[in-house]
Amino acid sequence: MTGNGSGNFYIYKIAMVASIGGFLFGYDLVIISGALPFLEQELGLTPALKGFAVSSAILGAISGPLVGLWCADRLGRRKTMMLASFFFMISAVGSGLASGIWDFGLWRFVGGLGIGLAMMSSPIYIAELAPPQMRGVLVNVNQLSNVIGINLAVIAGYFFSFDGWGWRWMMFSEGVPVVFLIMGLLVIPESPRWLVAQQREGEALKILEKINGRRRAEQELQEIQAGLRQEVGGHFRELFQPGIKTAFIIGTILMIFSQINGVNMMLLYAPTIMAEAGVNMGSSAILSSIPVYFIIFICTLLAFPLIKKFSRRGLLLASVSLMALGHLVMAVNLQQGWPPMYTLIPMFIGTGAFTLGFAPLSWIIVSEIFPTRIRSKALAVVCFFLYLSSFLIAQFFPVITDHFTRNFGNASGVYLLFAAICTACVWFSWKKVPETKGLSLEEIGSFWRKNGTKDGFAKNNLLERI
């Protein structure tokens, strides 16, 4: 096969299967919003227990990367995604049959484990199979699947919005895409870089040939072997070695910024935000969020050519700057008491900018900046902090909003705070985040080993400093 036509088609098929984990993450995030009113009524939930029903999955997602530490290195990337799919299936059935909030929360926790495993292993897997020139676009397939999952969950939530077993069918519905994920994982290959690390070069070469053709496959295999020989044993202590420590700090801070910037709260609490502003677009509260979810779907599609055309850092800086602008407009909107429909304007700016740049680029960057032997461990720790920050911001957003509303008459101060966080993220990205577009994973790993401790590296393409 060649590295262009059939090889590209082959890698796109693999990326689509691997990205079903992202689909399930988005689907799970929104389907609970549709089920919550019915859960509250049937199980008699207090506000605290409502929070538990939502956050139990996030707690599982925090634990998922810790489980994945061993799985991704010992079992492989593909088998780790398979394990995640089984957790998803158990969660779908268990939560749908739950008789009380505590067993419901337990099964949601199990599903969260699957989320943590899938969102850690899928980007690694895609990045390790993708040719350098396709890596950014292919990792963004995971983001597209996530957004598709969000939009389909809105439809499913509305379709099953009836008393009785309605919320249970919402939970059961998550099992349908899991079946497709399991079937797809049975036929896609393992990561060639993981195979080489396990001294299974023959299997790795066959996979690389299907992607790039024989000549390029042999060359890439040699590059992978050379890169692994320069690396140590892949122990945790390597995360704190000069160079690798810099990459680890960058990845961790970038992913924390991706959760605390406020735009995720616009997505998670979109129905609530618009309902409080007086926007009502349907008999079901979740339907009022359709315009926002539709915008992020369109922007995810637009992100593909943008990622291909522009540099990682340039697109990241533009994206976060526009997010800050969206928060400022929201603050002015709330302060001035503009008409309810005006609330959609800053939400479109913020969520659109986030989806065009920061959302996919954060995953692209952290999936490619670590050397092969340490990549899964680094991603596991980074994802732990990602979900921990996601849990904390989701828990405290309503509290902070209530504080500003009670003391200042509106929640504009919350969005000024988010604008400040986005501004800090712009500064951090400009000063510290390196440009990695078009480089092989081995070239990036070599940079950290040789030059990672030098100041000023972020402003240059890494290849120029190797």
- Domains of the chain in start order, with CATH, are 1-188 (1.20.1250.20), 238-466 (1.20.1250.20)
Four-residue CA torsion sign, 301, 305, 311, 317: negative
- Considering only 90-94, 120-124, 246-250, which range has the smallest mean pLDDT? 120-124
The whole-number pLDDT of residue 279 equals 58
120-124, 237-241, 461-465: least confident range: 461-465
Query: Mind listing the pLDDT tens digit for each residue in 338-347?
Result: 777 787 888 8
Tokens of 431: 């000063």
Angle formed at CA 77 by CA 71 and CA 78, multiple of 5 degrees: 110
Please say if the pLDDT value at position 453 is more than 50.
no
Give per-residue pLDDT as tens, 201-215: 888 898 888 887 888
Does residue 456 surpass a pLDDT of 50?
no
Where do runs of H (alpha helix) occur along 192-278?
192-197, 201-212, 214-230, 244-260, 263-268, 270-277
- Of 135-144, 217-226, 367-376, 455-464, the range with the highest mean pLDDT is 217-226
Helix (H) or strand (E) holding 111: helix 101-129
Q: Which residues contact 122 (CB under 8 A, 6 or more apart)?
A: 18, 19, 21, 22, 81, 142
pLDDT at 107 over 80: yes
Q: Is the pLDDT assigned to residue 4 strictly greater than 90?
A: no
- Residues whose CB is less than 8 angstroms from the CB of residue 62 and which lie 6 or more positions away in sequence, other chains included: 112, 116, 384, 387, 388, 391
Q: What is the mean pLDDT of residues 223-251?
A: 76
Rounded to an integer, the average pLDDT of 432-444 is: 81
State how far the Cα of 357 lies from the Cα of 392, in Å rounded to an integer.
23
**CA atoms of 156 and 162, how far apart (whole Å):** 12
Choose between 389 and 140: higher pLDDT: 389
Q: What pLDDT, on a 0 to 100 scale, did the predictor assign at position 269?
A: 64
76 against 446, higher pLDDT: 76
Return the C-alpha torsion angle 29, 31, 36, 38, nearest 10: -170
The b-or-e profile of 334-357 (16+ CB within 10 A means b, else e) is bbeeeeeebbbebbbbbbbbbbbb
Buried b / exposed e over 292-315, threshold 16 CB at 10 Å, is: bbebbbebbeebbebbeeeebbeb
The burial class, CB within 10 Å (0-12 / 13-18 / 19+), for 196 is buried
Amino acid type, 455: D
| pLDDT range class, residue 136, cuts 50, 70, 90 | confident
Phi, psi dihedrals of residue 162, rounded to the nearest 5°: -145, 155
Query: What is residue 38's predicted lDDT score, i.e. its pLDDT?
Result: 83
Q: Region 118-128: what's the mean pLDDT?
A: 80
Check residue 242 and give its pLDDT. Answer: 75
pLDDT at 277: 61
The whole-chain average pLDDT of the chain stands at 81
Average pLDDT of the segment spanning 371-386: 81
Q: How confident is the model at residue 353 (pLDDT cuts 50, 70, 90)?
A: very high
- What local confidence, expressed as pLDDT, does residue 466 receive? 36
Average pLDDT (217-231) is: 79
Q: pLDDT, tens digit, for every residue of 138-188? A: 777 877 888 888 888 888 887 887 777 888 999 999 888 888 888 888 888
Q: Which residues pair with 435 in a beta bridge?
A: 461
149 neighbors 27 (Cβ within 8 angstroms): yes
Query: Does 313 or 16 have the greater pLDDT score?
Result: 313
pLDDT value, residue 381: 85
% of the chain beyond a pLDDT of 90: 16
Unique residue bearing structure tokens 């609490």: 269
Higher pLDDT, 372 or 424: 424
At residue 329, the pLDDT reads: 93
The sign one gets for the Cα dihedral 350, 356, 358, 362 is positive
Look at residue 156 in the predicted model and tell me its pLDDT.
85
pLDDT of residue 328: 94
Instruction: Using pLDDT thresholds of 50, 70 and 90, give the confidence band for residue 126.
Output: confident
Average pLDDT on 415-443 reads 89
User: Between 461 and 218, where is the model more confident?
Assistant: 218
pLDDT at 67 over 60: yes
pTM of the model: 0.76
Choice among 25-34, 137-146, 190-199, 230-239 with the minimum mean pLDDT:
230-239
pLDDT for 75:
85
Element (H, E) at 81: helix 77-96
Of 345, 336, 219, 217, the residue nearest 273 (C-alpha): 345
